[in-house]
Amino acid sequence: MTPVAGWDLSRCHTFYFDPNAPDNKPVMISGNPPGPPPPPCIPLVNCLPGL
């Protein structure tokens, strides 16, 4: 796995892949995808440290 430049790998990050990017060259976008917000982070339930 190649880390994303500038990301602190000791904490969680939210990202999604651009649905309009070609399959052979995916584009990763930092942040939440458009639409409703994700559920809140509950440690050790839906938000695991280090992932």
CA quadruple 13, 16, 21, 22: dihedral sign: positive
Domain count of the chain? 1
Residue 2 belongs to a domain: no
pLDDT at 27 over 80: yes
Q: And the tokens for 40?
A: 């809140």
The pLDDT of residue 8 is 79
pLDDT at 35 over 60: yes
Residue 26 belongs to a domain: yes
The pLDDT of residue 45 is 79
* Range of the structural domain that residue 12 is part of: 7-33
Residue 20 belongs to a domain: yes
Residue 27 belongs to a domain: yes
Residue 13 belongs to a domain: yes
